[in-house]
Amino acid sequence: MLNTINRPTLLLFFVFDVVPGTPGVGKTTLGKELAQRTGLTYVNIGDLAQEGQLYDGYDEEYQCPILDEDKVVDELEDQMGEGGVIVDYHGCDLFPERWFHIVFVLRTDSSQLYTRLEGRSNYTGKKLQDNVQCEIFQTIYEEAMEAYKHEIVHQLPSNTPEDMEQNLDQIVQWTEQWIKDNN
């Protein structure tokens, strides 16, 4: 499938975990601000799944719904074909490679991530530890490198407000250049 509109599609993701939406690393803030600055469409997979009830059961251990990946892909197929989409999710193995022009993996220092998640009532015990361990071991970055061409996968720091602004500037510049090169 080729994008019919000459606008890039981007994938933003962070610490891999087994539940939708790792909080505390700034993905939603970055994605929404990026959509405002570029005119691209922002899609949060956790919100999409909740709105469409795109679930396949419930995980008792982590106390969260289990995403039905096939339903999510089916739901997004037409929109992704049009291009110009920023996808916000915590993993990459369910998305077809053809959907994305670039993938940004945001990284947060594990001690900061621990502090951020610890302050949230639904992140305790094993769930909290698993999320932090995934960041320490670069699980999501390695997953991205396996799922997509290496040249489209980029890591960006996400520890401070200054990092956020630099990331926004860098991604906006990339988007503008991509549009210029492909129109």
Query: Residue 124, annotated ligand binder?
Result: no
Among the residue ranges 56-60, 110-114, 167-171, the one predicted with the least confidence is 110-114
Residue 53: the pLDDT is 98
pTM, rounded to two decimals: 0.84
Query: Residue 31, annotated ligand binder?
Result: no
Query: Residue 28, annotated ligand binder?
Result: yes
pLDDT digits (tens, 9 = 90+) for 74-129: 999 999 988 899 998 888 888 999 998 998 888 888 888 778 777 777 777 887 77
DSSP states along 10-21? EEEE-S--SSS-
pLDDT category at 141 given cuts 50, 70, 90 is confident
Among the residue ranges 12-16, 27-31, 53-57, 108-112, the one predicted with the least confidence is 12-16
Query: Residue 21, annotated ligand binder?
Result: no
Please give the angle made by the CA atoms of 66, 135 and 98, to the nearest 5 degrees.
60
Query: Residue 119, annotated ligand binder?
Result: no
Question: CB 91: neighbour CB atoms within 10 A?
Answer: 23
Query: Residue 120, annotated ligand binder?
Result: yes
